[in-house]
Amino acid sequence: MKDRMTCGITEIDNGLSGFYYGDLVLSTSRPGHGNIYLLISIARGICFSAKDSPKCLIFTNNERKNCAYYQTGDEGIFTYYNYAAKDLQCFKKELVSVIKTTGAKIVVVENVELDFGKSSDFYRYLKKTASDSEILIFVKANMSRNSERKSYFDPKIADIEGSAVLEQVADKFIIMHRLDVLGIKDMSGRDQRDLTDLRLCSGDVLRTDTKYILFDSEKRIFKDFTPDDKRYGYYYL
């Protein structure tokens, strides 16, 4: 029996029934909503709470960011690696090498608009790596361009690039967006400041109810929505 790991964000832990080594977890959003920070917030929480105190690797090809940008100068629990792979074969070699070198048990993959990121082989490889190496892999995926042309925003798994393959290989899905970024206001016309909408899917169970958490823009972390936050007067809650 595998140990269930939690991240400390109640809505995510309950909605996805926790996390396990061997899982491939996919998170997606439109650009600018802080998707990568959500994954890092989840990974950070797991590292703090898991019995084996796992090491976490951030594997990214975004050269504009560095380790301090992701960590915001906090606990320094991550190893940061900027990969230079131009094709899938190079990516595989780099990822395996860095995992072995760092001993990471949790890996956050930020795939920034690479051609091989749209390939079914990319996601199949990540799932195989998670299973074979008994590690937990989070991957930041992209919404399809078609989703941006909708007159309203009601995200579904089908809106994710490569969704047909992802439904076969991913163990859990998180679709997120921040209401203030979309300009969604409450019934009184007030901004839904820092409020984040989550759609969660674990295995074959797609939750139809929407969950909410908060984004701390100063620390760049996501956290539970607490009773004290009611002072902001969120309509949706």
Domain-located, residue 104:
yes
Among left, alpha and beta (phi > 0; psi -120 to 50; other), residue 115 is alpha
- Of 74, 11, 62, nearest in space to 36 by CA: 62
Alpha-carbon gap, residue 231 to 237, rounded angstroms: 11
Q: What is the CATH number of the domain that holds 60?
A: 3.40.50.300
Domain-located, residue 3:
no
Domain-located, residue 31:
yes
User: Which tokens belong to 89?
Assistant: 């074969």
Q: Which residue has the tokens 């760092």?
A: 102
pLDDT value for 42? 95
Domain-located, residue 207:
yes
Domain-located, residue 34:
yes
pLDDT value for 68? 58
For the segment 12-22, what is each residue's pLDDT rounded down to a tens digit?
A: 999 999 999 99
Contact 109, 139 (CB under 8 A): yes
Q: Which residue has the tokens 């929407």?
A: 210
For the segment 122-135, what is each residue's pLDDT rounded down to a tens digit?
A: 889 999 999 999 99
Q: pTM for this structure?
A: 0.87
Q: What is the domain range of residue 86?
A: 10-232
Contact 232, 17 (CB under 8 A): no
Domain-located, residue 64:
yes
- According to DSSP, residue 150 is labeled -
- Three-state DSSP at 199 gives strand
Q: Which residue has the tokens 């690479």?
A: 114
Domain-located, residue 237:
no
pLDDT value for 133? 93
Alpha-carbon gap, residue 75 to 82, rounded angstroms: 20
- Burial environment of residue 157 by CB neighbours within 10 A (0 to 12, 13 to 18, 19 or more): middle
Alpha-carbon gap, residue 182 to 179, rounded angstroms: 5
- According to DSSP, residue 4 is labeled P
Low-confidence ranges of the chain (pLDDT < 70): 1, 63-76, 112-119, 144-155, 162, 186-188, 190, 203-209, 227-237
Domain-located, residue 5:
no
Our count of domains for the chain comes to: 1
